[in-house]
Amino acid sequence: MAGGYEQVLDDKSFTVRNQGGIEWLASHSLADKASCLRHYFLTRRGGVSEGAFADLNLGFGRGDKDGNVRENRGRVARNLELPMEPLFLRQVHADKIIVVREGDTQALLSAPPEADAYITALRGVPLMILTADCIPVIICDVRTPALGVIHAGWRGTALSIVWKTVITMMDVYGTRPEDCMAAIGPGIGPKCYEVGEEVHDSFAAAFSYSDLLFSPAGERRWNVDLREANRLQLMDALLKPASVDVCGECTHCESARFFSARRDGIDSGRQGAVAMLV
């Protein structure tokens, strides 16, 4: 890659790449089999923010300078050679899904809606969600083609936002599960994600397989595997297991590469996941 580098991660399903100083993780399955898609699970490297927000903080309202965040967002668009700045969401840890149709982009750029997932069949429209331990998920229907980009925190996961996104793509675009590829990007790993009764009980009420997701961590405390919870939602939506890449990088552990709200506090920086049909 001209002016950049590549590094295959230990789990072999993702590669670290760099272009113009912007670093991201790429899913091998999406890169190799979804030729209609460009995708980027961004790290914190490549921006202008300083201190606790160094370097590529993409989140407003956390204490970073607004000018730095605007420059970081602009760098993502310029250095990755995107045709426009990505569409963002005002993420609220729920299950609302926004369909991006022809003529919507300017309004969505000006006033990002409250939601936690975007879907579109438009080409050349980059979609972005922000994370700092929550799970970023990208789904590509390679036949239509169509795209879904999802922010899945524990509340969104308990509300089955990933499964609902696939179902919405079926309803809107006629997506078939057998035509879908998906990647679950870097998020907090189960060894670092200790939760209490609210999370445990919410998952138990939502999923018959919830016991598979928890391991005891103390009196009324558990460790939960948020990545596996979202992978199983993709299986519930009838995607093929071989069509789903799961990143093993833990945002809590990898402080040099990722922001983490659990590690650094809720006002930590935010990295992004971007995807666009071409």
Q: What is the DSSP-derived secondary structure letter of residue 85?
A: P
What is the rounded average pLDDT of the residues 224-253?
Answer: 97
In this predicted structure, the answer to whether residue 48 has a pLDDT above a threshold of 70 is yes
User: Any idea which of 12-16, 72-76, 241-245 has the lowest mean pLDDT?
Assistant: 12-16
Is a pLDDT exceeding 50 seen at residue 2? no
Q: Is the pLDDT of residue 11 over 80?
A: no
The predicted pLDDT at position 8 comes to: 63
Asked if residue 175 lies in contact with residue 220, where contact means CB atoms within 8 angstroms, the answer is: no
Question: Residue range 254-270: average pLDDT?
Answer: 96
Percent of the chain at pLDDT exceeding 90: 96
Beta strand residue intervals within the chain, DSSP E? 6-8, 14-19, 22-27, 37-42, 97-100, 117-120, 127-131, 135-141, 146-152, 180-184, 194-195, 214-218, 221-224, 244-246, 271-277
Question: Taking residues 156-180, what's their average pLDDT?
Answer: 98
pLDDT of 3 above 70: no
- Tell me what the mean pLDDT of segment 70-88 comes to: 97
Q: What is the mean pLDDT of residues 82-107?
A: 97
CATH class of 6-277: alpha beta
What are 177-225's pLDDT values in tens digits?
999 999 999 999 999 999 999 999 999 999 999 999 999 999 999 999 9
Position 5 scores a pLDDT of: 57
Please state the pTM of the whole predicted model: 0.96
CA torsion, ordered 59, 65, 66, 69, to nearest 10 deg = -50
State residue 1's pLDDT score: 45
Q: Which pLDDT score is estimated for 152?
A: 98
* Across 43-72, average pLDDT: 97
User: Is residue 42's pLDDT more than 80?
Assistant: yes
